[in-house]
């Protein structure tokens, strides 16, 4: 009986020690990030909206969501300029198109798609720099107007794009 309890205690201590070692090196954390220990700050520039069709609140909502994600899941200090990490995001497109056509050539579903171009610069580790586009979309019933569903769709799309940007930049998935 005592040997069993001792084995459990040893396993628990070993697991705790390994967890401390994994996070102590500063390269890996339980949030999934792989930020080098000498990287301390991030600058998320205000998102610019260059889409032909513009949702007036989309850029500010995306900026806020990016800042929230990095603040909650990293220990990086947010700065207004010249961060160790710099993130520039431009909304390139905001489109509504038919997603499913019926036999009568009528749209059964419409799709709202947002595409954002990202330039990520790691000043201290330029090998981690990234330039890429990320898109998110949501479908909605064509009997509804875009005005009626737009805010909910945008909220979901922003969440997807922010997750993709975060994973590609500091989680490096």
CB 43 within 8 A of CB 78: yes
- Residue 15 sits in the same domain as residue 60: no
Rounded to whole angstroms, how far apart are CA atoms 85 and 165?
Answer: 13
pLDDT of residue 90: 98
Q: Which domain holds residue 139?
A: 39-171
Rounded to whole angstroms, how far apart are CA atoms 64 and 124?
Answer: 25
Global pTM reads 0.79
CB 136 within 8 A of CB 161: yes
CB 87 within 8 A of CB 74: no
The per-residue pLDDT for range 50-59, each reduced to its tens digit, is 999 989 999 9
Rounded to whole angstroms, how far apart are CA atoms 28 and 36?
Answer: 8
- Residue 86 sits in the same domain as residue 150: yes
- Residue 92 sits in the same domain as residue 132: yes
Total residue length of the chain = 173
CATH of the domain at 62: 3.30.160.150
- Number of neighbouring beta carbons within 10 Å of residue 112: 22
The per-residue pLDDT for range 126-140, each reduced to its tens digit, is 999 999 999 999 999
- Residue 14 sits in the same domain as residue 44: no
Count of domains forming the chain:
2
- Residue 58 sits in the same domain as residue 22: no
List b or e across 59-83, with b for residues whose CB sees 16 or more CB atoms inside 10 angstroms. bebbbbbbbebbeebbebeeeeeeb
Question: SS3 for 80?
Answer: coil
pLDDT of residue 144: 93
- Residue 26 sits in the same domain as residue 43: no
- Residue 15 sits in the same domain as residue 82: no
- Residue 55 sits in the same domain as residue 18: no
Q: Which residues contact 162 (CB under 8 A, 6 or more apart)?
A: 62, 65, 66, 69
- Residue 101 sits in the same domain as residue 21: no
pLDDT of residue 163: 97
Integer angstrom CA distances of residue 53 from 22, 36, 114, 141: 46, 39, 10, 20
Per-residue pLDDT of the chain (173 residues; tens, 9 = 90+): 555 555 555 454 444 444 444 444 444 444 457 789 999 999 999 999 999 998 999 999 999 999 999 999 999 999 999 999 999 999 999 999 988 877 777 778 999 999 999 999 999 999 999 999 999 999 999 999 999 999 999 999 999 999 999 999 998 65
């Amino acid at each position: 009986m005592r040997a069993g309890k001792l084995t459990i205690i040893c396993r628990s201590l070993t697991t705790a020690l390994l967890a401390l070692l994994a996070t102590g090196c500063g390269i890996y954390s339980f949030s999934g990030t792989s930020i080098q220990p000498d990287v301390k700050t991030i600058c998320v520039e205000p998102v610019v909206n260059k889409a032909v069709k513009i949702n007036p609140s989309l850029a500010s909502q995306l900026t806020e969501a990016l800042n929230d994600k990095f603040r909650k899941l990293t220990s990086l200090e947010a700065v207004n300029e010249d961060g160790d990490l710099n993130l520039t995001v431009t909304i390139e497109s905001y489109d509504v198109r038919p997603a499913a056509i019926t036999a009568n050539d009528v749209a059964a579903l419409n799709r709202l798609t947002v595409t954002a171009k990202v330039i990520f610069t790691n000043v201290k580790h330029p090998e981690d720099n990234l330039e890429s586009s990320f898109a998110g979309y949501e479908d909605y019933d064509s009997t509804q107007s875009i005005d009626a569903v737009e805010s909910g769709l945008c909220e979901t799309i922003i969440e997807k794009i922010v997750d993709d940007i975060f994973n590609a930049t500091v989680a490096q998935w």
